[in-house]
Structure formats: C-alpha cells, structure tokens
Amino acid sequence: MQYCSTRDSAVRVEAAKAIAQGLSRDGGLFCPMEIPRLSDLEFAALLEMNYQQRAAFVIGKFLTDYSADELLEFANTAYHSDRFTAPAVAPVHPLDDSTHILELWHGPTCAFKDMALQILPYLLTAALKKTGEEKKACILVATSGDTGKAALEGFADVDGIQIAVFYPKDGVSRVQELQMTTQSGNNVYVSSVYGNFDHVQSKMKEIFSDVDLREKAAEKNVFFSSANSINWGRAVPQIAYYVSGYCDMVKNGSISLGDQINVCVPTGNFGNILAAYYAREMGVPIKKLICASNENNVLTDFFNTGCYDRNRDFHVTISPAMDILISSNLERLLFHLSGQDDKTIRAYMSALATDGKYVVNEALKSRLSDLFHAGFCDDVRVKKTISEVFSKYNYLIDTHTAVGVRVYQDYVAETGDVTKTLIASTASPFKFADSVLSAIGVDTDIDGTELLDILSKTTSVSVPGPLAELKNKTERFKNAVTKDEIVNAVFDFIG
C-alpha cells in the first residue's frame, strides 16, 4: 500500500517510510491511498480472535510491507498481560442496553494512548531497518497530557532512539505531570512549556518541516520523527480497537453481525475519532460518528457551520487532554472526503496558518454532515455527568469520558436516535482524581498522589497499579521553557 501527503498527492512512500519519517517534508500528513475493506468472512474470523490477533490483522491491512508474523509478534508483546491489566485489553462495558463503554485505559499509563504507543516502538524500529536508516531517531512529542507518558513508557531505553516530550505548564493534571517527570530511562527528556498545547504542537511541526534544523540534526547523525498522532504508525493501531469493540458487542449478544452502531468519541486533536472513521470505511457498520468536545469547541462549531476558526478564547478545563484549538488530524479527514484534493487542503491549511480559519466548500460540508454529529460539554456538566453515572450505575468515569457520555445523551435527546452506541473511554478516573472527587461531592485541598487513595476509599475502586507506584518515585525533570526555547532544548538533549 502506498501513502501520499495531504498537501502533495504526488508524494508516494510505503508504510515503513511514512512511519519512520512521521510527517511529510511539505508539512502534510501521510494518508493511505486507499482504505481496505473487510469481507464478511474476515469479520466472522475476527469474532473468534483475541485482541492481539485482531490488532495484527487490522494493522496488516494497512502496513503491507510488514509481514503478518512480525505484526503478530509486535501485538503479542505490546498487549501482553504484563502491560495490560484487562485480559480483553480493550473491554466493552455495557452501562445499559443502548450505551456501551469501550475501556481504553488498562495499559501501563492508564490512558488510551497506550493502545497505539505500546506497539509504535516496534513498528518504528522495524521501519528504520526496512528503510535502511542508520541515523539515530529523535522522537519529538507535543502532549496535552496522556501522549507524553505513553510515548515515554513505550520508547524508554529503546536502542537507537531518543525521545523528548514537551507539555503545557499548568495545562495537565498533577498525576499526568508526575507520570512524565518521574520517567526512567537514559534516552528520555521532559520539559514543560509556557503556553498551551497548540503553541507546543505548532513548534513541533515547524521543527519537522525546517530544512536547516533537519540538516543540523543530520550532522549529529540524528533525524527527527514523531509519536504524535500525526505519525501514521500512531494512528493505525487505533483503528483496531473500534473493529475489536464492534466484534465484542457481537460476541456478548448486544448486537448481531451487520447491525449498525453509533460511535461517540471525546476528542481534541481528532486522531481518536479519525480512527473510528477509518474503521467505518473498512466496513464496520457505523451509522453516526459523534464528535464530543469540551469548552474548546472549535470542532463542534466546524461540523455545524463548515468554518474552522481557532480565533477564540482558549479555555483551561478539567478535561485537559482536549484543551486544543488546532485539531491536526482533521486534515486527514478532509483529504479523504475531498477525493484527495491536495490543492484544496493546502489552501485550507495555509488559511489556518495565516488567518486562523478556513471555510470548507458545500460538497465537503454536506459529506461531513452525513457522517458526523458534534456537540460539547462544559465543566459544570462534566462533573454532573460523573456524579450521575456513578450514582446510577456505580461506574466511575474520568472527565474526558464524561464529555463523551454527556454529548451522547444530548445527541439522543436531540435526534431520538437510540441506535446502540459505543463510547470511547479514554482515561482512568484516577488520572484526574481531584476533579472526579469534586464531582462526587468530596472537596479537598490535598493535591498529587494522596488524592488517589482518597478517591479509592470513597468509591471502593482500586487505584491502578501504575498510578499507585507514583507515590514512591522521584521527579527527574522540573525545567520549563518558552516555545521559542524548545529548539535549543532539543539540540542540547541530542548533544
């Protein structure tokens, strides 16, 4: 399978090259030239597979320059029981007859990013061998909270790779911060940045597309790559859990094979819900993709008006992983829906860079409306949702999952559509213990890891092991830089 750039469809690379490079040199994102379809026989076979086998099978449909054997080996290692506490890896938990929660947080960092970032190191190291790359890879990561730790955990002490993670200062929860700043490994670097996630992400993209910086790194026998969802190797494993979630709904009798479902995803950078779109195009019978945003509702406005406008107030919320105004992966969706019209995508992205907004044409707007519904939820309703779900179902959800649940409830109230729905649950509630405690009526001045035990005692839910271990770890990284100091920090790190 060939991949092209969203900004130059004449670019042609195989999957290994797309994964090793991360971002196209023109600033575009790599996309598959075609999306493979799963046959009825393949769906029937997937029903009988475990998660590791399903993941290897789905990923293999896109990474055709990798063998089935190596992908299965990677999946078995990445999703092994010593890393994922749930035997099903990504289990489906029914709240009621119509609402099903896809739990994506049973990995080593207790967030959905583990689903991709535990297997990405294997995909990337194999890609370096396949492409004959001899330079050391420096993985640059911009994170709004969860990607950073998941990437650090996946790449720590991997031979031939260094990883530098940057996160917005005061823009993540204390637990998220401690997960990153206590990271072990001789090849890791972590720094906070004064500003928000969009500032950090924009600087990462500048570094990837700057010829002079690439040459300067090459002089040190280093090349830059990405573990953010702009990297296809990060995006493709996420498709697998929507395929698997559908199969599990069939297996547990919630639906019959071929029945339609809706999928609701709390999203900021658009990568997670984009994976659901790819699953739909592969043949998973998804009726509606429900895009759930927090108060930074740039995506909600986009789907409702056709105008993407980041020129608005930035809100720091209790669902910080979604505090984003530039949703990078939306570019991939527009590329596919426009019929791979790179000229149009270049114009949109240029307008976004210079004016902070763009307006899609009527044909695209119509297609988006057919596929997506969008809504948002503020912090007050997030807390109310956490409280209501815990009270009604004795089930504890985090602040991001609560956004998804509430927007789904709003969708049903607005449309009357009671199609059974899979809601992506993106993080353990213990990662945002202060907000979750407040939501269920427990106010405390305590901060940090002590909140974990308070939440556990209050709810009778056990603290996930990887988070409980934070209490005994020492912070290694306490530095903060401005966005203009990021480049110097990177080059100091790579030596």
Q: Angle 290-296-298 (CA atoms, 0-180°, nearest 5)? A: 65
In the structure encoding, which two tokens stand for residue 241, read together?
A: 């859990």
Token pair 């401005």: residue: 482
Per DSSP, helices labelled H in 283-341 are 298-305, 330-337
Distance of CA 320 to the CA centre of its chain: 13
Element (H, E) at 278: helix 271-282
Task: Give how far Cα 92 sits from Cα of 249, 421, 424, Å.
Answer: 7, 11, 9
Distance separating alpha carbons of residues 69 and 466, to the nearest angstrom: 30
In the structure encoding, which two tokens stand for residue 127, read together?
A: 């890609």
- The SS3 call for residue 481 is strand
Pairing state between β 136-142 and 286-293: unpaired
Distance separating alpha carbons of residues 64 and 484, to the nearest angstrom: 39
In the structure encoding, which two tokens stand for residue 389, read together?
A: 């779900």
In the structure encoding, which two tokens stand for residue 47, read together?
A: 């029903």
Active-site annotation holder among 113, 205, 383, 420:
113
Distance separating alpha carbons of residues 138 and 187, to the nearest angstrom: 9
Q: How many helices (H) and strands (E) does the chain have?
A: 22, 16
Task: Name every residue whose Cβ is closer than 8 Å to that of residue 126 and which is 6 or more positions away in sequence.
Answer: 16, 66, 70, 74
Phi, psi of 13 (to 5 degrees): -140, 160
Q: How many CA atoms lie within 13 A of 320 on its CB side?
A: 24
Other beta carbons within 10 angstroms of residue 23's beta carbon come to 25
Pairing state between β 99-103 and 136-142: unpaired
Task: Name every residue whose Cβ is closer than 8 Å to that of residue 164 and which is 6 or more positions away in sequence.
Answer: 138, 139, 140, 141, 188, 189, 190, 191, 489, 490, 493
Distance separating alpha carbons of residues 448 and 475, to the nearest angstrom: 13
Token pair 């990437």: residue: 151
Token pair 């300067």: residue: 216
205 is catalytic: no
Distance separating alpha carbons of residues 332 and 139, to the nearest angstrom: 21
List active site positions. 113
